[in-house]
A = this chain, B = another copy of it.
Amino acid sequence: MEFEKIADIFKALADPTRLKILSLLRTRDCCVCELVPIFKISQPAISKHVSRLKTAELVRETRKGQWVFYSINEKRLEEIGYALSHLPDLTEELRKLEQQGLTVTCE
């Protein structure tokens, strides 16, 4: 995965409200109207947060009548840990730097 894409997923996780939503969804699927009274923010704010999580594929949505239930995508969460330990390798960049004589050695 590219640095940009990995950063986008981390951006989706870089907010306490969204992390809390993910934790709640781990206990059970929830709809927006259940999440609203748990947080001290408006319904549109919650709606935008879950939408951000959906774009990052961290949650999925299922409409049930007038409600939209959100569920956690555990596979995606596992992918993140993997991405962190397998960031694109940049050894080549450092080799180029060395060829240009831009490396610093001090001993």
Interface, chain A (partner B; CB < 8 A): 2-4, 6-7, 10-11, 13-16, 18-20, 22-24, 26-28, 30-31, 33-34, 37-38, 64-65, 67, 77, 80-81, 84-85, 87-91, 93-94, 97, 100, 102-104, 106
Contacts and interface: CB of A to CB of B under 8 A. Distances in A.
A24 B94 contact: yes
Contacts of A100: 37
Given A4-B16, A26-B87, 19 more contacts: A3-B20, A7-B16, A10-B10, A10-B11, A10-B19, A14-B14, A23-B87, A23-B88, A23-B90, A24-B90, A24-B93, A28-B94, A30-B94, A31-B104, A38-B90, A64-B106, A67-B104, A77-B85, A80-B84
Nearest to A25: B90
A65 B22 CA distance: 46
Contacts of A2: 16
Given A34-B102, A38-B97, A102-B37, A14 B24 contact: no
